Amino acid sequence: MTDEWIRIAAPATTSNIGAGFDVFGLALKEPYDIIEGRKIDSGVVISEVSGPGSESIPTDPEKNSVGIAAAEVLRRCEADFGIELRIKKGIRPCSGIGSSGASAAGGAYVAHILCGERLTPTEVVLCAAHAEDVTSGGFHADNVAPCVLGGFTIIRSYEPFEVITIQPPESLGIVIAMPDVLVPTKEARSILPKEVKVKDMVFHIGNASTMVYGMMTGDLGLIGRSVKDAFSEPARSVLVPYIKEAESIAMSKGAIASFLGGSGPCIISFFDKSSHEGEHIAESIVKMYAEHDMKCDTWITEPGSGCRRI
Ligand code: HSE
- Encode pLDDT of 2-44 as tens digits: 579 999 999 999 999 999 999 999 999 999 999 999 999 999 9
Pocket, ligand 1, Cβ cutoff 6 A: 15-16, 21-22, 140, 142-143, 185, 188-189, 232, 262-263
Q: Measure 97 CA to ligand 1 centroid, in angstroms.
A: 9
Q: What is the pLDDT of residues 201-239, one digit of tens each?
A: 999 999 999 999 999 999 999 999 999 999 999 999 999
Ligand 1 pocket mutation, candidates 143, 240, 259, criterion most atoms within 8 A of CB: 143
Q: What is the per-residue DSSP string for 277-309?
A: -SHHHHHHHHHHHHHTT--EEEEEE-B---SEE
Q: Measure 104 CA to ligand 1 centroid, in angstroms.
A: 14
Ligand 1 pocket mutation, candidates 13, 17, 22, 187, criterion most atoms within 8 A of CB: 22
Which element (helix H / strand E) includes 92? none
How large is the average pLDDT for residues 161-184?
97
3-state secondary structure 205-268: HHHHHHHHHHHHHCCHHHHHHHCCCCCHHHHHHHHCCCHHHHHHHHHHCCCCEEEECCCCCCEE
The residues, any chain, with a CB within 8 Å of residue 40's CB and separated by 6 or more, are: 1, 2, 81, 82, 83, 84
- Residue 54: closest CA among 44, 43, 46: 46
The residues, any chain, with a CB within 8 Å of residue 120's CB and separated by 6 or more, are: none
Residue 36 annotated as catalytic: no
First to last CA, the chain: 23
> What local confidence, expressed as pLDDT, does residue 1 receive?
59
Pairing state of beta strands 20-40 and 152-157?
Answer: antiparallel
Atom of ligand 1 nearest to the CA of 188: 6
71 contacts 112 by C-beta, under 8 angstroms: no
Atom of ligand 1 nearest to the CA of 96: 8
Q: Which of 84, 123, 132, 247 is catalytic?
A: 132
Give residue 136's pLDDT band: very low, low, confident or very high (50, 70, 90).
Answer: confident
Q: Measure 262 CA to ligand 1 centroid, in angstroms.
A: 5
Q: Which residue has its alpha carbon closest to ligand 1 atom 4?
A: 262
Taking the C-alpha atoms of residue 44 and residue 82, their distance in angstroms, rounded to an integer, is 6
Q: What percent of the chain lies above the pLDDT cut of 90?
A: 95
Q: Is the pTM of this model over 0.75?
A: yes
Q: Measure 14 CA to ligand 1 centroid, in angstroms.
A: 9
Q: Measure 188 CA to ligand 1 centroid, in angstroms.
A: 8
Q: What is the pLDDT of residues 47-98, one digit of tens each?
A: 999 999 999 999 999 999 999 999 999 999 999 999 999 999 999 999 999 9
What is the Cα 269 distance to its own chain's centre?
15
Q: Measure 43 CA to ligand 1 centroid, in angstroms.
A: 30
Q: What is the pLDDT of residues 266-309, one digit of tens each?
A: 999 999 999 999 999 999 999 999 999 999 999 999 999 999 99
Taking the C-alpha atoms of residue 211 and residue 146, their distance in angstroms, rounded to an integer, is 16
Atom of ligand 1 nearest to the CA of 100: 8
178 contacts 285 by C-beta, under 8 angstroms: no
Ligand 1 pocket mutation, candidates 16, 92, 143, criterion most atoms within 8 A of CB: 16
pLDDT > 80? residue 242 = yes
Residue 48 annotated as catalytic: no
- Residue 223: closest CA among 200, 256, 174, 258: 256
